[in-house]
Amino acid sequence: MAQKQVSIREIAELSGVSVATVSRVINNNGRFSETTRQKVMAVIREQGYETNAMAKGLRMRKSNTVGIVVPDLNNSFFADLVEKIEQQLFETGYSTIICDTARDPYKEAGYLKMLEAKLVDGLIVISGLKEFDSQQLSRHVPIVCIDRKPNTNKIKYIGSDHYKGAQLATEKLISAKTNPVLLAGSRDSPSLIDRIKGYQDTLSKNELPADNTSVIRLTEEEEQTPDTRRSALREILRKLMTKSQPPIGIFAVSDTLAADVLIAAHSMFISVPSDLKVIGFDDAPIARYCYPELTTIRQNTDEIAVRATSYLVSAIQGKTEQNSSINKLVDVSLVNRSTV
């Protein structure tokens, strides 16, 4: 991908070294000092010089590190996914720099700049409200977005089939004789939009009203701490129990939220699953610590990690990914445990 046609001779002149030296640096072949390498590399970067062979050579002297930008390591789904990606990358010979943005766009911009300065060979961007804007980066590196829409189709998108997951969850709750509501946090995201659509389409298909009142969102204030979340959820449960006959069915769009619903229900002596049926999303580690253990939609984090890593490494190594399955959504499945 030649950005500008600069000859190796010009690179040599600008670096103040011989053509042979530039060639050795590019091909990582023979003797040269670190000073020389940095000098040559700086000129190459300044000039935006790149050819396939060169790209390959440069890569051999690149950092062998990949940056991961993640919104919240305290969310066990993200922590699990990041650990799996890190493991895959490590086995492929790459070190992983993990950056936690706390869902703060300003922090995200800062970390992207930092990762660029550290010369990462590639980037994995996980989740996020807005489209990922590759213009934030000043040089070209391969990028994979997981559950985050990129602003250009040059960036690979990998994500679960959130729509299908919501269908499975909703059908499960309908077949358990509930008229399910969907419960979500305050933040919008492309995956949430897909899940809401899957839920609503499934209601319609089953001739149940898909009105707005069946989508319940926590406010930002309510979701602030475990205590505010649970107090809001108790209020929601109280209303649902007043409005409808048990069993109540709740499709919580994350396992963390479902876990909070269960805690709130326990404190109100609501019996799960007889009076309240709950289904989560993710099959994050927390799902196995809920009581009763959480019925949920499993996102295949192993598969997501493998796809993200293999695509990114291929792109870093300049190989075109021929496997078209890479463009398909990652399949999800229902995990039957004890809350429905």
Whether the ω angle into residue 292 lies within 30 degrees of 0, i.e. cis, is yes
* 174 backbone dihedrals φ, ψ, rounded to 5°: -70, -40
* CB hemisphere CA count around 242 (13 angstroms): 6
Q: Is 99 among the residues that bind a second copy (CB under 8 A)?
A: yes
For a second copy, give the closer residue by CB, 65 or 206: 65
**Residue 146 bridge partners (DSSP):** 126, 158
Q: Is 224 among the residues that bind a second copy (CB under 8 A)?
A: no
Which residues between 140 and 169 bind a second copy (CB under 8 A)?
A: none
Answer whether 69's CB lies under 8 Å from 96's CB: no
Q: Is 118 among the residues that bind a second copy (CB under 8 A)?
A: yes
Q: Is 110 among the residues that bind a second copy (CB under 8 A)?
A: yes
Kind of pairing, strands 248-252 and 276-282?
parallel
Max CA distance (Å), the chain: 83
Q: Is 79 among the residues that bind a second copy (CB under 8 A)?
A: yes
| Alpha carbons 69 and 46: distance in angstroms, whole number | 26
Within 10 A of 112 (CB to CB), how many other CB atoms are there?
Answer: 23
Residues 6+ apart with CB under 8 A from 198: 162, 163, 164, 165, 166, 167, 170
Answer whether 295's CB lies under 8 Å from 323's CB: no
Please identify which residue in 30, 48, 188, 291 interacts with a second copy, judged by CB under 8 A.
291
In the complex, the smallest distance separating the C-beta of residue 10 from a second copy, rounded to whole angstroms, is 14
Q: Is 107 among the residues that bind a second copy (CB under 8 A)?
A: yes
In the complex, the smallest distance separating the C-beta of residue 304 from a second copy, rounded to whole angstroms, is 16
Which residues between 28 and 57 bind a second copy (CB under 8 A)?
A: 33-35, 38-39, 42-43, 46
E strand or H helix at 197? helix 190-205
For a second copy, give the closer residue by CB, 156 or 230: 230
For a second copy, give the closer residue by CB, 73 or 326: 73
For a second copy, give the closer residue by CB, 240 or 259: 259
Please identify which residue in 111, 163, 251, 311 interacts with a second copy, judged by CB under 8 A.
111
Please identify which residue in 30, 48, 105, 226 interacts with a second copy, judged by CB under 8 A.
226
Q: Is 339 among the residues that bind a second copy (CB under 8 A)?
A: no
Q: Is 335 among the residues that bind a second copy (CB under 8 A)?
A: no
Binding segment for a second copy among 157-165, 211-219, 246-254, 262-270 (CB under 8 A)? 262-270
| CB-based burial label for 216 (10 Å; 0-12, 13-18, 19+) | middle
Answer whether 156's CB lies under 8 Å from 134's CB: no
Q: Is 86 among the residues that bind a second copy (CB under 8 A)?
A: yes
Q: Is 95 among the residues that bind a second copy (CB under 8 A)?
A: yes
Within 10 A of 24 (CB to CB), how many other CB atoms are there?
Answer: 19
Q: Is 285 among the residues that bind a second copy (CB under 8 A)?
A: yes
Residues 6+ apart with CB under 8 A from 69: 99, 101, 108, 111, 112, 115, 123, 124, 125, 126
In the complex, the smallest distance separating the C-beta of residue 285 from a second copy, rounded to whole angstroms, is 6
Please identify which residue in 176, 208, 263, 335 interacts with a second copy, judged by CB under 8 A.
263
| Alpha carbons 315 and 199: distance in angstroms, whole number | 36
Q: Is 329 among the residues that bind a second copy (CB under 8 A)?
A: no
**Count of positions on this chain that bind a second copy (CB under 8 A):** 49
The residues binding a second copy (CB under 8 A) are: 15-16, 33-35, 38-39, 42-43, 46, 63, 65, 72-74, 76, 79-80, 82-83, 86-87, 90, 95-100, 102, 107, 110-111, 114, 117-118, 226, 259, 262-263, 266, 285-286, 288-293
